[in-house]
Structures are given as C-alpha cells and as structure tokens.
Copies of this chain bind each other. A is one copy, B any other.
Amino acid sequence: MSADSPHAADSTDSLAGDRTGVWLVGARGNVATMAIVGARAIAAGHTDTTGMVTEREPVSALELPPVEEFVFGGHDIDPTSLVEQAERQCERNGVPDEATLTGVRDDLAAVDERIEVGTAINCGAAVTDESEQLDESLSMRTVLGQIRDDYESFHSAHDLDRLVVVNVASTEPELPTADQYDTRDALEEALDNDDRDLPASVLYAYAAIDAGHPFVNFTPSTGNALGGMQELAADRGVPHVGRDAKTGETLVKSALAPMFAGRNLNVLSWEGHNILGNKDGLVLEDEQNAAGKLASKGDVLESILPEIGHNRVRIDYTPSLADWKTAWDYIHFEGFLNTEMTMQFTWEGSDSALAAPLVLDLVRLISHADEYGDGGLQPQLASFFKAPLGVDEHDFSKQLHWLYDYARRHSDTDA
C-alpha cells in the first residue's frame, strides 16, 4: 500500500468492525441461500468455519471484515422466499440441518425483505421460465439505472462501510460477440445504442464497478470478463474477480493434473462425467447455457497438460441428487515403456455447501483489496476460479501459493 493511499491513516484494525454489505445477484438461489444461512449460523455460534479459506493460516492472519457483520441483500427473479428456499434445501439435501435452520429463520426473513426484482435479459429460456423480472422492453441504460438505485438504497439504508456485489445467479448462455466489447468505449457505445445482446450479468457488473463497488463473478456468465469492463474497473480503481468458482470436479482436476505433468506421464484421455440435481443442473441441460461452463472446465486440463490426447466433460441433470453433485473422472495415461495405466475418481459433494464458504471468503478478500487500494484484477484470488480473469495458471497448488504469499505480505503490513 502506498503511503498516500486514502486508507493509509486508519489501516490498522480498519476492517475488524466494518459493516460490509453483500449484494447477491441470484439472492434466492442455492449458493446464496447457503452463504446467508452459514454466515448467520456462524454469527449465532451454531456452526464453525470449516470450509472457509480465510479462517486458516496464513490467510487468517489478514485483517478482514468479520462475517458476523455482513449485511445481505440482493436481486432475484424467483419469488419464492429465502426461508422457503432454505427449508427446501434442508428437506431435500439435509443441508442445512433443522437445528441450524431454526436458528437463522428470522434472519433469513429479514434478508428476504431486502431482495429486489432483477433483470434476466439474455439469460436463456431455461432461466427465465416461471419467474418475474424487470420489463425486458426497458432500455439497457434504464435497467442499469434501476440496478444502481437498488445498490445505493441498500448502501444508505444500512449504514454500510462498503458494498460488495457478487453474481451467484444461474449460468447464462455464452455471449458469442464478447470481442465486440473489448474496450470501454465500445461497451459504453453499446449501452448508449441500447444493444439488445448484452446479458444481465454485464449490467449487474457494470452498475457495481461504475459506482465503485467491488464485484465478484462466481459464475461462468460473462459479467466482468469483457475487455471493456476490465478497462472500466482499472479506470475506476475498483477490484473485481471471476469467473466460475472452482468447487468440485475441476478443483480436483487442478490438484491432480499437475501430478501427471510433474512425473512426465502422458495423459491419453481424461473423461469427466458430472451428474447433479439442482437448478444449475437443470439450466445446464440447456446446451446453450452449458457451453460456457464446459469451456471453463475444459481449459484447466489443456493448460496443465498441453499434450493431453482427449479431454471431455459431460454435465447431466439427475433430479434425485438434489443439491448433490457427483463426478466420475477416468484418466487413461501412459508411463515408462509405453505402459498404459488408469486412475479414476468419484467425487460426491454438496454443491452449495462447497460454494457458500467461498462466497464469504471472496467478499472478505476483495474487501481487503478495496481497503488497500488494489483496484483491477486480483490474481492472488485465482485459486477460487475455474477461469481466473487475467491468469493463465490453473495448477491449484501454485494458485494457492500466490494467495499465501499475498496473505503473508499483507499481514506483515497490516500488523
């Protein structure tokens, strides 16, 4: 942190008592619900912080805003209340359990009051069925204005020290024309001309970054990935990260693939088959929505194992699994003397329970960056993402090393 940073004077303990606003786009979805339940359960002492990276050395040594003081709000197009969403997850998945749910039910009801109707423009038919949303005929600039107003009303109503916007909404179809928005000028012009191709995630990201709010894209949707958006964030000095949180099969891949590389073993084929039962799975049944997800999952192996022979990822919807995601991966590889061998693994995880603590981690860590004036992309957070913006490294261990280095460097400074 430079000496003339606006935050320099009060940096010691500056975040410990902060009230951080967490605005969740997709606030009634599985991940958001679980993040809110978890944060309130931690605040009430009903659960511990297992699964949170920021609660483990060396990251825990950083000055970070306390989860207990997070104030939640958000947008959604699903009218089912947060309490009902949590009850359904409790019943279908057993997570959260009933005791935890009972302890946070009132908190959930309170947060639900702060959820506004959002836009789902260009999110695909799979998402927008059975929902209420902003009138699609409104101009892009008008929608942007409404989103921004929602952010600001929330900010001032709750006397927040900071507002972080996190996109946890269902995956949008890929934006095939992303290259057209490579500069800030092109992006602004598109908005001025009411370009009907831009998807909701871009509008939420633009409204946040333009107003100086840190932005986290937890999904594969376009959001802040556009070149023009990155330029905007750099201009505004606003930290932003993404995209597509690495929670299950891809996380395992990013830990295992370097082992094959490190031993100079030749991976002939890596087949990955994911089955999942939640709304994400349903949305991904739609081939358009799946394209982006599959792209970011696939890149991990190509990057770590550039000579891989064959690499396919399947995602299928299996309703009975509810929020559970099971992945089977089959790895066919060749070693010394052309010996063919295999490895296979099955991963069975609760998707939301794996994702939710990372939402809390990312809010805390991007708040730290914001506080210390580190605008733009945040490569030290690459370990959280399948397709980390601005980073080519996919080896989980190396990514984690960057986070630890950052934590050690900044915790010395903080102290």
A contact residues vs B (CB 8 Å cutoff)? 34, 37-38, 41, 47-53, 55-56, 94-98, 100, 251-252, 255-256, 258-259, 261-266, 268-269, 271, 273, 275, 309-310, 312, 314, 316, 318-321, 326, 328, 330, 332, 334-350, 353-354, 356-357, 383, 395-398, 400-401
Contact = CB atoms under 8 A, between A and B. Distances in A.
A283 to B, nearest CB: 17
B319 A312 contact: no
Contacts of A401: 401
A50 B265 contact: yes
Nearest to A328: B328
Given A98-B98, A271-B318, A265 B336 contact: no
Nearest to A347: B343
B51 A336 contact: yes
B346 A264 contact: no
A343 to B, nearest CB: 5
Nearest to A322: B340
A260 to B, nearest CB: 9
Contacts of A55: 264
Contacts of A98: 98
A259 B396 contact: yes
Contacts of A275: 269, 271, 330
B264 A52 contact: yes
A341 B268 CA distance: 20
A339 B34 CA distance: 11
A356 B336 contact: yes
A138 B48 CA distance: 52
Contacts of A256: 252, 255-256
Contacts of A341: 348-350, 353-354
Given A50-B336, A264-B55, A316 B321 contact: no
Contact of A337 (B47, B53, B319, B396): B47
12 contacts: A50-B264, A51-B265, A51-B335, A51-B336, A53-B263, A95-B339, A262-B400, A314-B316, A318-B332, A335-B357, A337-B356, A397-B397
Contacts of A328: 273, 328, 330, 344
